[in-house]
Amino acid sequence: MADLFIDGEWVSGAKGLTREVRCPADGALVATVDEATREDTERAIRAARKAFDDGRWSSVSATERGKLLIRVADLLERDTEVIAHAESLDTGKRIIEARYDVADIVSSFRWFAGLANTNLGRVVDPGTTGTFSRVVYEPVGVCGLITPWNYPLLQASWKVAPALAAGNTFVIKPSEMTPSTTILLMRILQEAGLPDGVANLVLGSGAEAGAPLAEHPDVDMVSFTGGVITGRRVMAAASVTVKKVALELGGKNPNIIFADADLDAAIDNAATAVFLHSGQVCSAGARLLVEESIHDEVVDRVVAIASKIRLGGPFDPAAETGSLISRDHRSKVAGYVERALAEGAVLRCGGSAPVGPAFDDGAFYLPTVLDGCTTTMSCVQDESFGPVLTVETFTSEAEAIRLGNDTIYGLAGAVWTSDMGRAARVANALRHGTIWINDYHPYRPQAEWGGFKQSGVGRELGLAGFAEYVEPKHIYENLQPAASGWFGESEQNIT
């Protein structure tokens, strides 16, 4: 079965190339999918351009667009098990986590279905002085959507749902490692009745299948989620045609625990903050900042939790977390830990791959705690995107804030304290896009998600996540047109 979806048809790539997708937990073959080349992506862009320009989707009423998105949400919910299963096989994540992801994906579609009917436009001048002036919001046009491998369909839904709600057409390119659920989404969009050419899918490498989405003059906007280095590349490529750009990049997120916090809750959540999905979460709480007086207790207890976390495949009911996405990625994480130790970090647990037949064919890495870290170390500044926690200490509120902001990133952070005045001060002072007070990880589709500084440009979700996909236009109408007499030889111009 062909896997590229272009202009309403399932097709193979022009060069007939394919790629194997393997489960990172055991290396088993999941699928062999078609691989797009640059010319396939350009074909998909042409289809999306035509579909946008002839208005087959943008001229559909907002109510009908919203109804279609609700239908998509219902179909996704119907297919929860199939989608969760495919996501688990591609990513190696536990099936229970994949089911939570599908619930979040459904919520994302429902949220943007509601917004389809929310017209952001307004009347600026109602006409009483002879002019009628209004601002209308129109779809941006053709959107290039590029997504990563850690939450493949969730990240896709944060782009596809608002793009469609606003009346755009798009070409999406998922990570080459995790294409399966985006293929399923395209089938659901087709089943829901989306007109041909509105949604297009290309699979393949970033350099070949993805790059044209940032470069091509017929793409009006590129929305990218991935690493900061690729993000810079996408932004530079998009600058040639001055495209609208939305970037959701990495994070190095501080989790700050004050001595007056509820320590049972703070310590338990400190482990979940970083070890959920083996740390492959952009908002992972990978930097633990602990008030000095409670350092030993907090670190000992976090190490005790980390040392007992059970690793396993996606369908192992005893597993508490899964494999990394690939052995290449595991090598990067291992290299990051080696550099940290060379810089003086103290290894408290982990620091290697687990041993045993259950792990031999996978890309597992043990939950790792590095104590004695400081902001000058690369392990504190760089994103490992693995199950690695660095620990720093502070002695005052001001120092906690200074350390929490000492990063090029600004995606998320948390503060644990029973002093609500302090919680508010710290939350206000941290320059990150999401701040949790006495919690870690929850998000709401109604609330904006995204980063300050090098964590990105623009926002997903919330109202701003919809506004990314529209362009405001001011329409000024003179209700009593008359010659202005500014130029020429009319009487009033001659003094």
Cite the active site residues.
248, 282
Residue among 150 and 407 whose Cβ is closer to ligand NAD: 150
Among 73, 249, 289, 311, binds ligand NAD (CB under 6 A): 249
CB under 6 A: which stretch of 18-26, 46-54, 140-148, 352-360 binds ligand NAD?
A: 140-148
Q: Does 207 bind ligand NAD (CB under 6 A)?
A: yes
Contacts of 312 (CB under 8 A, 6+ apart): 25, 94, 318, 319, 320, 322, 358
Q: Does 155 bind ligand NAD (CB under 6 A)?
A: yes
Among 271, 345, 377, 411, binds ligand NAD (CB under 6 A): 411
CB under 6 A: which stretch of 95-103, 207-215, 288-296, 365-373 binds ligand NAD?
A: 207-215
CB under 6 A: which stretch of 15-23, 160-168, 170-178, 296-304 binds ligand NAD?
A: 170-178
Residue among 58 and 368 whose Cβ is closer to ligand NAD: 368
Among 4, 76, 146, 345, binds ligand NAD (CB under 6 A): 146
From residue 478, give the alpha-carbon distance in Å to each of 123, 355, 487, 492. 14, 77, 19, 21
Q: How many CB atoms lie within 10 A of CB 210?
A: 31
CB under 6 A: which stretch of 6-14, 110-118, 125-133, 208-216 binds ligand NAD?
A: 208-216
* Residue whose pair of structure tokens reads 């779809």 in the numeric block: 139
Contact letters (x/-) for ligand NAD, 250-289, by CB under 6 A? xx------------------------------x-------
Contacts of 407 (CB under 8 A, 6+ apart): 252, 254, 287, 375, 380, 381, 453
Residue among 121 and 227 whose Cβ is closer to ligand NAD: 227
Query: Residue 332: in which H helix or E strand, if any?
Result: helix 327-342
Local structure of 133: helix, strand or coil: strand
Please report how close the Cβ of residue 196 comes to ligand NAD at its closest, in angstroms.
24
Residue 129 structure tokens = 């002085």
Residue 495 structure tokens = 């003094």
Among 51, 83, 234, 270, binds ligand NAD (CB under 6 A): 234
Residue 480 structure tokens = 């009593």
- The answer to whether 250 and 150 are in contact (CB under 8 A) is no
Residue among 285 and 451 whose Cβ is closer to ligand NAD: 451
In one-letter notation, the amino acid at residue 43 is R
Q: Does 149 bind ligand NAD (CB under 6 A)?
A: yes
CB under 6 A: which stretch of 12-20, 143-151, 159-167, 253-261 binds ligand NAD?
A: 143-151
Nearest CA to 10 out of 208, 199, 214, 143 is that of 199
The Cβ-side half-sphere exposure at 184, using a 13 Å CA radius, reads: 25
Among 65, 110, 233, 244, binds ligand NAD (CB under 6 A): 233
Compute the distance between CA of residue 200 and CA of residue 198 in angstroms, rounded to an integer: 7
Contact letters (x/-) for ligand NAD, 433-472, by CB under 6 A? ------------------x----x----------------
Nearest CA to 108 out of 67, 82, 72, 137 is that of 72
Please report how close the Cβ of residue 263 comes to ligand NAD at its closest, in angstroms.
29
Please report how close the Cβ of residue 358 comes to ligand NAD at its closest, in angstroms.
25
Q: Does 385 bind ligand NAD (CB under 6 A)?
A: yes
- The answer to whether 405 and 395 are in contact (CB under 8 A) is no
Angle at 460 between CA 459 and CA 463, to 5 degrees: 85
Q: Does 210 bind ligand NAD (CB under 6 A)?
A: yes
Residue among 66 and 144 whose Cβ is closer to ligand NAD: 144
Please report how close the Cβ of residue 154 comes to ligand NAD at its closest, in angstroms.
8
Compute the distance between CA of residue 83 and CA of residue 77 in angstroms, rounded to an integer: 9
Q: What is the DSSP letter of 309?
A: P
DSSP E strand stretches across 241-374: 244-248, 254-257, 287-291, 346-349, 368-371
Where along the sequence are the contacts to ligand NAD (CB under 6 A)?
146-151, 155, 173, 175-176, 205-207, 210-211, 214, 225-227, 230, 233-234, 248-251, 282, 383, 385, 411, 451, 456
